[in-house]
Chains A and B, each alone.
Chain A
Amino acid sequence: QKEVEQNSGPLSVPEGAIASLNCTYSDRGSQSFFWYRQYSGKSPELIMFIYSNGDKEDGRFTAQLNKASQYVSLLIRDSQPSDSATYLCAVNPRNQFYFGTGTSLTVIP
């Protein structure tokens, strides 16, 4: 069983819509959760991190964490073509770092 699972997509949404990206993890000891964005040919860059159950909002991005269900999600409101990228979920149990394989998002103008 993989430490982190993501739907690889591709996920396509129209411009202005809400994009919803999901991630599940296996280690209940995980305390830190991260969403990275990676444009084609570029390195991953951090979008958000979340430590506590519930929602965390930053501009158009909202991270949601549910430790009981072992899932973390990322919502992108008012999606823009510039949001088209691969989104990587990462978890940090016991100072290990595990990344999902990523979900490819395309925002259609």
Chain B
Amino acid sequence: DAGVIQSPRHEVTEMGQEVTLRCKPISGHNSLFWYRQTMMRGLELLIYFNNNVPIDDSGMPEDRFSAKMPNASFSTLKIQPSEPRDSAVYFCASSFLTSGEETQYFGPGTRLLVL
């Protein structure tokens, strides 16, 4: 399996622009997670989906952030408009949530810099 795939790997944009991050989870996994990691705040869960349905989006910082999962093999995280404080590494992770297996597998991350 190719693992979790994220694109782009690096993104540099200017304040006010729209940014779209993409994720393809591991085939067969039923849960997908979006995280943001910064030096100051560590790894923060933004939102997670189970069977393509958003379960908890309490970590989404504000209305500028939105996430979708139109099918089991694709998800997007959008920031509109972007701000310099959104600069971080954004990770997508997938898992097969059952009572016995909850391991998350992380993608390589998207390094976002908002100027």
Contact = CB atoms under 8 A, between A and B. Distances in A.
Interface string A26-57: 00000010100000001111100100000000
A80 interface: no
Contact of A97 (B33, B41, B107, B108): B33
Nearest to B111: A41
B61 interface: no
Interface in B1-49: 33, 35, 41-45, 48
Contacts of B104: 34, 46, 97
Interface residues of B, number: 21
Interface stretch (A13-21, A61-69, A88-96): A88-96
A32 B43 contact: no
A97 B97 CA distance: 12
B57 interface: no
B42 A102 contact: yes
A88 to B, nearest CB: 7
A22 interface: no
A46 B104 CA distance: 8
B42 A100 contact: yes
B96 interface: no
Nearest to B4: A43
30 contacts: A32-B102, A34-B103, A34-B104, A42-B108, A43-B91, A43-B106, A43-B107, A43-B108, A44-B43, A45-B106, A46-B103, A46-B105, A49-B102, A49-B103, A88-B42, A88-B43, A95-B50, A95-B55, A95-B97, A96-B45, A96-B56, A97-B45, A97-B48, A97-B104, A99-B35, A100-B42, A101-B41, A101-B42, A101-B43, A102-B42
Given A95-B97, A97-B45, 15 more contacts: A43-B109, A44-B43, A44-B106, A45-B106, A46-B103, A49-B102, A49-B103, A92-B102, A95-B50, A96-B45, A98-B45, A99-B35, A99-B43, A99-B44, A101-B42
Interface of A: 32, 34, 42-46, 49, 88, 92, 95-102
